[in-house]
Structures are given as C-alpha cells and as structure tokens.
Amino acid sequence: MTISLEELQLAARNHGMPLEALRYDLTPVGLHYLLIHYDIPVVDPAAWRLQVGGLVERELSLGIDELRTWPAVELVATMECAGNGRARLEPRPVSQPWLHEAVGTAAWRGVSLPALLAEAGVRDEAVEVVFTGLDRGIEGEIEQRFARSLPVAEAAAGEAVLAYEVNGQPLPPQHGYPLRLVVPGWYGMANVKWLASIEVVGEPFSGFQQAAGYRWRTDETDPGRPLTRMLPRALMVPPGIPEFMTRHRTLETGSVVLEGRAWSGIAPVERVEVSVDGGRTWGDARLGEAPSRWAWRPWWFEWEAEPGECELRCRAADGAGNVQPDEPQWNVGGYANNATQRVPVTVRRRTLA
Ligand SMILES: Nc1nc2c(c(=O)[nH]1)N[C@H]1C(S)=C(S)[C@@H](COP(=O)(O)O)O[C@H]1N2
Ligand SMILES: [Mo]
C-alpha cells in the first residue's frame, strides 16, 4: 500500500478539493481540484490565437479579445477527474493517487462551442472534433501535446463552452489560461485546457489520451471502452473535527446535520441515501436544488449521534437508474471508482464547559 515518491510528486502538484469545501455551491477557485499532466504553459495573450480548421467551410483564427466580443454564455458545471477514487483500488494503479477529492464546481463563462462550430461550418464528412492544448510532454513513451476529441454530435449540438472566465475571474494559469473547453457531464479529461486548436476530422482520433489513456480496461489485453460521462457520486463533509495526522473525526453526542453534494453526468441525481451504521441500514437524505442541470445537488441528513464508534456512508442514484456500488470495480487505469464514501467517526459525550 506504500505510496511511492513519484506518486507523492504527482499528488503534491495536482491537489484535490478539501472535502469541507463541499459546503459551497460554487467551489472558490483556489479550492477547485487540479490535474495537469505536463507543465503549466506560460501564455502571452497578445500572441495567443485559437486555430479552427480541418473539415470546415471556413477556417478561423481568433485572438482572445475577438472571442470576448462573441455572445457570452455561462455554464455552471461540476467537474470530476476520471481517476477519482483510484487510490482505493487494490492493487493500486500507479498514477495520480486520488482518494475522493478530485472534484469541484465552477461557473464558466465564454463562447458556445456549437456556435463557434456553426460559424466555421462543419462539413458532412466530419466524425469527431479534436481539441489540442499548448502543454507538451512524454507519456507512454510518446511525445505529445495534450489532446482529446469529442464526437461531432456532442461538440456541435451539446452545451460545451470555450471558457475564458471562471467564477467571474479570467482563467488562472492552472485552469487553462487563456481558454479552455468545458464539456458538461463528462469526466475531467474532456475539458482541454490552454486550447491552441480545434480540428474537425473525418476519422476517430487516435491520439494517446484517446486511444491509450482514459479507457476502462479489465486487463492489459483488453482494448477497453472510452470513459465519457461521470457516474453518480455523493460525498459528505466529514463531520466534527479531524485528528491532525489520521484525519479521524471526533464529534459530540446530540443532533448533527450531515451534509454534502451529489452529481451524475448521465442523468440528474434523484436520491441520496445515508447510513450511520456502516451500511447495515440506510435513510433518505433531503435534497436541495442544483445550481444547474450540470452541477451537484446539495443534501442534508439529520442524525442523533450516540456515544461510540461508527462508520458513516452516503450514496447517490440518478434518474437513469445508476446507483453507487459498495465496492469498487478494479480496472487497469483506476478510473471511475464511484464506490460509496466511508467516514469512520468517534462520538463522545458533550464535554462540560
Ligand atoms: N491541456 C490539458 N488539458 C487538460 C489536462 C491536461 O493535463 N492538459 N488535464 C485534464 C484532466 S485529466 C482533468 S481531470 C481536468 C482538470 O481540470 P482542472 O485542473 O481545471 O480542475 O483537465 C483536463 N484538461
Ligand atoms: Mo483527470
């Protein structure tokens, strides 16, 4: 189970959202999780341009000030890394060792991707749209720029946004300055940062992050299936106070309101259940309104805490019938582990002042 220095190096660069930040509808920018494969590029906004080409009627080359003159759209979306939960698989796939915290919700503002593609004019032979970032590195022994594709139908007719602002501020360097793609409902890897080009292609894209990475594979011989939309997940704010090293929680007896958020990229969350006895019995949480169709829903659960040790759990179900499993399903890349969160707590009698 030992974490290597290489995994620690990744974990120190790519931080999660502290779970107490589940209290915010919109994650404050510095608390949103981060995942960066290579180095954060430094971009000169005066020199930067977005190139749009391939199977289009009109090629486009747009500066950031020009993009800002287009009609702006706002998209509030929950984003989660496909590797969230990876570190809880056994044996642990070696990569960024996320526990539960690779998630955040933000208000992205920018240009509608379908509107931009309509302006360029997507030709009939188009199959996919490829999004390439400025960041370069080596992965699987292949030198590359981070690039991902979307099916033409998703790109040209969905609700994706080319964002230049997050929560009312210009994108900070770590979130893709000056422009990033945001594809609501999809796992994080689809949301290409530091966008340099958009290319409409007539064949499925075979780049590393599409053909080798981000596939759900049972073993090394399995070509696997691509990861797309986020499976449902509920997370709770760990209640009480943490012990510094172990982060084990302690709280006092009496009425406690457990709270958290739940999301699914497939269909809206319709139910959240909570267990206060390690999964033996479950009760329904009260659900609040999601800030948008693509953002997490708040939930609350009232609990009379009795002295002793117990394990809290929560799980979400979406309108398409997807429910979180109790146990993870192992896969080569360690993706899409949405097994229920477990929070062991010690309840002690209220201390007299
Ligand atoms: N250009 C580029 N885009 C990228 C990445 C990257 O390394 N390079 N990482 C992807 C992954 S795996 C995730 S989970 C999200 C994370 O976005 P965030 O760091 O803004 O939260 O960005 C995606 N977009
Ligand atoms: Mo990710």
Taking only the tens place, the pLDDT of each residue in 102-126 is: 999 999 999 999 999 999 999 999 9
> Once rounded to an integer, what is the mean pLDDT over residues 204-221?
97
> Once rounded to an integer, what is the mean pLDDT over residues 76-103?
97
Ligand 2: distance of its center to the CA of 187 in Å?
7
- Find all residues with CB under 8 Å of 224, minimum gap 6, and list them: 215, 216, 217, 218, 331, 332
pLDDT at position 350: 78
Ligand 2: distance of its center to the CA of 222 in Å?
21
Ligand 1 lined by 156 (C-beta under 6 Å): no
CA 188 to ligand 1: nearest atom: 14
Residue count (the chain):
353
Residue nearest to atom 6 of ligand 1 (CA): 36
Task: Quick: pLDDT tens for 140-162.
Answer: 999 999 999 999 999 999 999 99
Ligand 1 lined by 299 (C-beta under 6 Å): no
Helix boundaries (H) for 126-251: 152-157, 208-211
pTM score, whole prediction: 0.97
CB 83 within 8 A of CB 71: no
pLDDT at 194 over 70: yes
Ligand 2: distance of its center to the CA of 96 in Å?
9
Ligand 1 lined by 52 (C-beta under 6 Å): no
pLDDT at 351 over 90: no
Task: Give percent above pLDDT 90 in the chain.
Answer: 98
> Once rounded to an integer, what is the mean pLDDT over residues 186-215?
98
Residue nearest to atom 4 of ligand 1 (CA): 192
pLDDT at 348 over 70: yes
Strand order of the β-sheet with 297-305 is 233-236, 254-263, 297-305, 286-287
Q: Which two tokens stand for residue 164?
A: 């230049």
- Find all residues with CB under 8 Å of 336, minimum gap 6, and list them: 82, 85, 187, 216, 227, 231
Beta strands in 264-329 (DSSP E): 269-275, 283-284, 286-287, 297-305, 308-318
Ligand 1 lined by 192 (C-beta under 6 Å): yes
Ligand 1 lined by 181 (C-beta under 6 Å): no
Query: What CA–CA distances, in Å, run from 41 to 133, 154, 236, 255, 331?
Result: 9, 28, 34, 49, 31
Query: What CA–CA distances, in Å, run from 325 to 55, 219, 279, 298?
Result: 42, 21, 11, 20
Distance CA 26, CA 78 (A): 9
Task: Quick: pLDDT tens for 168-188.
Answer: 999 999 999 999 999 999 999
Full set of structural domains in the chain with CATH: 5-226 (3.90.420.10), 233-348 (2.60.40.650)
- Say whether 130 sits in a helix, a strand or coil: strand
CA 37 to ligand 1: nearest atom: 7
pLDDT at position 1: 73
pLDDT at 353 over 90: no
Average pLDDT over the chain reads 97
pLDDT band with cut points at 50, 70 and 90 for residue 256: very high
Neighbours of 34 (CB within 10 A): 17
Placement of tokens 């996320």 in the chain: 98
CB 297 within 8 A of CB 271: no
CA 80 to ligand 1: nearest atom: 14
Query: What CA–CA distances, in Å, run from 183 to 59, 108, 128, 294?
Result: 22, 11, 14, 10
Note the ligand closest to the C-alpha atom of 86.
2
pLDDT at 303 over 90: yes
Ligand 1: distance of its center to the CA of 86 in Å?
16
Pairing mode, if any, of strands 249-252 and 341-348? parallel
Neighbours of 177 (CB within 10 A): 21
Ligand 1 lined by 195 (C-beta under 6 Å): no
pLDDT at position 352: 57
> Once rounded to an integer, what is the mean pLDDT over residues 321-326?
98
Ligand 1: distance of its center to the CA of 38 in Å?
10
Note the ligand closest to the C-alpha atom of 188.
1
Ligand 1 lined by 32 (C-beta under 6 Å): yes
Ligand 1 lined by 189 (C-beta under 6 Å): yes
